[in-house]
């Protein structure tokens, strides 16, 4: 167990999250222990907003203080691609309030519920800083929290039985449906939530946090996922069915045009994260470029052809200018990709991912990398792969690919 996981476990190990107890804090009595906006990217963002207020010497704050901050307003529109807060007040209330509920339940924040709006103050600044650094860190924290709630509430054994079946290779829709029905019955019997759709709406996120941590299949589209869960499925990026084709910065009420938008801010941030992680050194460590500063965060699968992977860290590799503009794109023609160099980049990216797993820093996810390889090479990695056992197998399969074909 790595140090970060130990820190997170120590934070909540003595807290009682049993949903069955009548007076176990209002978050559990109402059943709102987890919700739609409690995802790694948003919780990391709200943690950062809180720390920004602290930097400004604001010792206590409400959700409104976060909403009115310049940092929140800018990031809401430019990073998350959401409409301005004044146009969707109820949505923004949930965007801020749901993460605050979890951060206070886990005692990272002090919470005063004696008046409205609720007032908060920082209790565990060092952990908030860890959450704000990376959605990967936040995913780990949320998963530990989820597991603790389900164990305290006597439901975790049902999760274990589901994963036992998945490990055996049983990916039938019925095993997920059975688990979901048990969860819905549990929530409706032990909390104030009585509507059929609410537990079903939240449960995939609950299950997929655990599945990602364990590199296993989870839930997707109402059944067992086709592939092991990747970080992408937990990020706040999927379109609401009501918003299909709509610019997310436009509220539904305003929506009249079918004009999709790509968030360049998110892609730039992902590239910057990868470059900083590798300390601006090239990942392709061969030839005369080893000691040249790697200023390029390059997509292995191009953004133009594979936009779905444009924000995946596993699809971004650090390169020097010469590697990027001469080797990856011969003669500086960015519309052309050298497929042999692309294959080389995948192999070097895999080395980076292996190192990330060895030091357990949660920066990369092997399942995301496998999705990228399978997309480029038509499902060449067809069987479930356990990273620690089969890293050499993945390398050999990629190395065996005949680019000439």
Q: What is the pLDDT of residues 369-380, one digit of tens each?
A: 888 888 888 777
pLDDT band of 15, cuts 50, 70, 90: very high
Residue, of 362 and 275, whose pLDDT is higher? 275
> What is the share, in percent, of the chain residues with pLDDT greater than 90?
44
Q: Cα 124 from chain centroid?
A: 22
Exposure on the CB side of residue 160, measured as CA atoms within 13 A = 7
Residue, of 386 and 120, whose pLDDT is higher? 120
What is the per-residue pLDDT for 402?
82
Burial group, residue 401, by CB count within 10 angstroms (0-12, 13-18, 19+): middle
pTM for the whole structure: 0.70
125-144: average pLDDT: 91
337-344: average pLDDT: 93
45-73: average pLDDT: 90
Domain boundaries, the chain: 3-213, 264-399
- Name residue 112's beta-bridge partners: 119
With CA atoms as reference, report the closest residue to 364 among 283, 248, 255. Answer: 283
């Amino acid at each position: 167990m790595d140090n970060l996981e130990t820190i997170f476990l120590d934070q909540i190990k003595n807290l009682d999250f049993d949903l069955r107890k009548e007076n176990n804090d209002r978050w559990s009595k109402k059943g709102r222990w987890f919700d739609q906006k409690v995802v790694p990217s948003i919780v990391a963002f709200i943690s950062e907003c809180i720390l920004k207020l602290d930097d400004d010497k604001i010792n206590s704050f409400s959700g409104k203080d976060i909403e009115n901050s310049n940092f929140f307003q800018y990031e809401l529109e430019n990073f998350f691609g959401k409409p301005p807060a004044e146009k969707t007040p109820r949505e923004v209330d949930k965007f801020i309030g749901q993460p605050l509920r979890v951060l206070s339940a886990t005692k990272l924040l002090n919470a005063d519920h004696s008046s409205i709006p609720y007032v908060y103050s920082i209790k565990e600044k060092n952990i908030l800083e860890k959450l704000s650094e990376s959605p990967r860190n936040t995913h780990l924290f949320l998963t530990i929290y989820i597991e603790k709630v389900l164990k305290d509430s006597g439901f975790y054994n049902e999760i274990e039985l589901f994963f036992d079946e998945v490990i055996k290779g049983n990916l039938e829709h019925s095993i997920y449906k059975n688990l979901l029905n048990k969860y819905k019955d549990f929530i409706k019997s032990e909390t104030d939530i009585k509507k059929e759709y609410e537990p079903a709406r939240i449960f995939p996120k609950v299950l997929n946090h655990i599945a990602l941590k364990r590199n296993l299949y989870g839930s997707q589209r109402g059944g067992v996922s086709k592939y092991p869960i990747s970080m992408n499925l937990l990020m706040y990026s999927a379109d609401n069915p009501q918003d299909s084709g709509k610019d997310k910065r436009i509220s539904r009420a305003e929506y009249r045009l079918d004009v999709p938008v790509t968030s360049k801010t998110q892609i730039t941030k992902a590239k910057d994260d990868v470059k900083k992680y590798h300390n601006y050194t090239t990942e392709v460590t061969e030839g005369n470029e080893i000691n040249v500063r790697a200023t390029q965060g390059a997509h292995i699968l191009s953004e133009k052809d594979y936009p779905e992977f444009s924000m995946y860290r596993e699809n971004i590799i650090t390169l020097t200018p010469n590697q990027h503009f001469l080797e990856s794109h011969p003669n500086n023609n960015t519309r052309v990709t050298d497929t042999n160099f692309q294959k080389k980049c995948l192999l070097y990216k895999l080395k980076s991912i292996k190192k990330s797993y060895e030091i357990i820093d949660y920066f990369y996810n092997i399942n995301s990398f496998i999705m990228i390889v399978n997309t480029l090479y038509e499902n060449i990695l067809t069987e479930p792969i356990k990273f620690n056992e089969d890293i050499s197998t993945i390398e050999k399969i990629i190395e065996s690919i005949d680019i000439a074909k």
